[in-house]
């Protein structure tokens, strides 16, 4: 696409945008009664207006029906998750039965590692990426310790080459080959939260499987951002949260994927609870556990309906728009951001996110030489919310559902002004 660095061009793109009406469906934080330029949907997505109404409906139901809300004919709480699996499955490229919406992300990662990290004397190593999200790293370290291994020996980190910012697929795959029979699990964030790099899940999964290892992906930064293909990529499991690009509310309930081929394997170790029991006999309160079909059997507790209401209401927007439509706007919007940043033509700024559109989502991570948190504070003072990562990276994520070309243009003007005055 031929971009132009004029405000008129940005406005023209907004006029042509088939998703432009969606912006009005969200609540924006305000500064001096004007909406912030909010490019932080990679940390906490904005509130869809429908969520407030939907939560109020459930509150009213609780108030008027009490326990009967579980079996209320219209939208019974007892089946709340089942409906969500289908709609969530479309967002991540899975079959309904492979998806369950439950718990929170880090909790799910622990639960799924109970099933998919089953070390033996020979095969006990876990491969992760450098700059993995800290929570994922803590999960891996603590799981290793729990099984009696020292993370120093058993946690292997693959990083970028000297002088590079992102990982090379061939380096990940060759590390997997080297570890061979010792490798139990590969766990990678897709995209990486820091650089925004998207990985080739299918290739990594194939290499890991060829060497007898399991593969999991943390798609916290992928769900609602890029089209994912968890089923076809053949990964063993995946986890993601719903409060980033999926706009479901702070700390809201997360998603998990378990590949179809594992769903009938009742030998797989699993921490169970009554909500993973088959719905039809759950309330019979029998001693014997009868698993719910598919991924639903990984559920443990009765789900928090008020939080799930946010997930359901927000996902309906994704269902309506479709992830492919979102992606096509996202490619333009982020492409425009990149174009304008390059036009600044200042050696102090460098984009560490891959240049290739298929290797990134909407986020660009910008390294600003010699910057301090003062830059971030100045951006906020000028009506821009982005994300600051020590020592010198701002992560900028224009979300195609509610951000505009106009905002991208104005953001770059504000950034420029800050660079020149600092
Ligand atoms: C946001 C994020 C988390 C956060 O985990 P919670 O359990 O939701 O607090 C974990 N991992 C990655 C990769 C993330 O991006």
pLDDT, tens digit, 9 for 90 and up, residues 37-79: 999 999 999 999 999 999 999 999 999 999 999 998 788 999 8
Q: What is the sign, positive or negative, of the torsion defined by CA atoms of 303, 309, 310, 312?
A: positive
Residue 252, token pair as written in the block? 């809201």
Report the pLDDT value the prediction gives residue 422, as an integer from 0 to 100.
55
Centre of ligand 1 from the C-alpha of residue 219, in Å: 9
Nearest CA to ligand 1 atom 13: 133
Atom of ligand 1 nearest to the CA of 135: 10
How many angstroms does the Cα of residue 110 sit away from the middle of ligand 1?
12
Mean pLDDT in residue range 118-137: 97
pTM given for the model:
0.97
- In order of their start, the domains of the chain are 7-35+323-421 (3.90.1150.10), 55-320 (3.40.640.10)
Q: Take atom 15 of ligand 1 and give the residue whose Cα is closest.
A: 220
SS3 27: strand
Bridge partners for 156 per DSSP: 127
Digit-coded pLDDT (tens) for 279-316? 999 888 888 999 999 999 999 999 999 999 999 999 99
**Structural contact between residues 17 and 404, judged by C-beta atoms closer than 8 angstroms:** yes
Output the CA–CA distances (angstroms, integers) from residue 136 to 87, 120, 186, in the order listed: 26, 22, 12
Each residue of 370-412: pLDDT tens digit? Answer: 888 888 899 999 999 999 988 899 999 999 999 999 999 999 9
**Could you tell me the distance, in angstroms and rounded to a whole number, from the CA of residue 73 to the centre of ligand 1?**
35
Averaged pLDDT for residues 84-97: 97
Cβ neighbourhood burial of 317 (10 Å; 0-12, 13-18, 19+): buried
Average pLDDT of the segment spanning 217-231: 98
Coil, strand or helix at 379? helix
pLDDT average, residue stretch 188-206? 98
Question: Which ligand 1 atom sits closest to the C-alpha of 221?
Answer: 15
Rounded to the nearest angstrom, the distance between the alpha carbon of 400 and the centre of ligand 1 is 21
Residue 354 CA to chain centroid, in angstroms?
18
Averaged pLDDT score across all residues of the chain? 96
Give residue ranges with CB within 6 A of ligand 1.
104-106, 133, 135-136, 189, 193, 218, 220-221, 241
Confidence label for 125 from pLDDT (cuts 50, 70 and 90): very high
Residue indicated by tokens 């429908």: 50
Nearest CA to ligand 1 atom 2: 220
């Amino acid at each position: 696409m031929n971009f132009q660095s004029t405000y008129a061009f940005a406005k023209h793109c907004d006029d042509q945008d088939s998703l432009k009406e969606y912006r009005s469906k969200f609540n924006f934080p305000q500064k001096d009664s004007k909406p912030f330029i909010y490019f932080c949907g990679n940390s906490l997505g904005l509130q869809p207006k429908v969520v407030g109404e939907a939560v109020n409906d459930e509150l009213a139901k609780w108030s008027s029906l009490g326990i009967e809300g579980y079996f209320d004919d219209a939208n019974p709480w007892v089946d709340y998750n089942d409906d969500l699996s289908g709609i969530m499955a479309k967002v991540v490229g899975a079959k309904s039965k492979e998806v369950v919406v439950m718990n929170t992300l880090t909790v799910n990662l622990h639960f799924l590692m109970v099933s998919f990290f089953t070390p033996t004397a020979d095969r006990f190593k876990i491969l992760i990426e450098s700059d993995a999200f800290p929570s994922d790293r803590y999960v891996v370290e603590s799981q290793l310790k729990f099984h009696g291994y020292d993370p120093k020996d058993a946690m292997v980190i693959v990083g970028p080459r000297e002088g590079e910012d992102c990982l090379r697929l061939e380096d990940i795959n060759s590390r997997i080959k080297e570890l061979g029979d010792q490798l139990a699990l590969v766990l990678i964030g897709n995209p990486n939260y820091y650089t925004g790099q998207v990985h080739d899940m299918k290739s990594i999964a194939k290499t890991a499987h060829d060497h007898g290892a399991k593969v999991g992906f943390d798609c916290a930064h992928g769900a609602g951002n890029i089209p994912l293909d968890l089923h076809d990529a053949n990964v063993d499991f995946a986890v993601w949260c719903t409060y980033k690009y999926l706009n479901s509310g702070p700390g809201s309930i997360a998603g998990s994927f378990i590949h179809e081929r594992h769903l009938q394997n009742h030998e797989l170790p699993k921490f169970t609870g009554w909500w993973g029991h088959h719905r039809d006999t759950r309330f019979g309160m029998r001693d014997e556990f009868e698993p719910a079909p598919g991924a639903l059997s990984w559920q443990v507790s009765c789900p928090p309906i008020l939080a799930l209401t946010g997930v359901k209401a927000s996902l309906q927007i994704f269902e309506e728009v479709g992830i492919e439509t979102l992606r096509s706007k996202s490619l333009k919007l982020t492409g425009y951001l990149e174009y304008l940043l390059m036009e600044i033509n200042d050696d102090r700024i460098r984009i560490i996110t891959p240049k290739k559109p298929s290797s990134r989502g909407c986020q660009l991570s910008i390294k600003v030489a010699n910057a301090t948190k003062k830059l971030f504070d100045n951006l906020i003072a000028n009506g821009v919310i982005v994300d600051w990562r020590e020592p010198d990276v701002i992560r900028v994520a224009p979300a195609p559902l509610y951000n505009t070309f106009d905002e991208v243009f104005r953001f770059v003007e504000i950034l420029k002004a800050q660079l020149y005055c600092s």
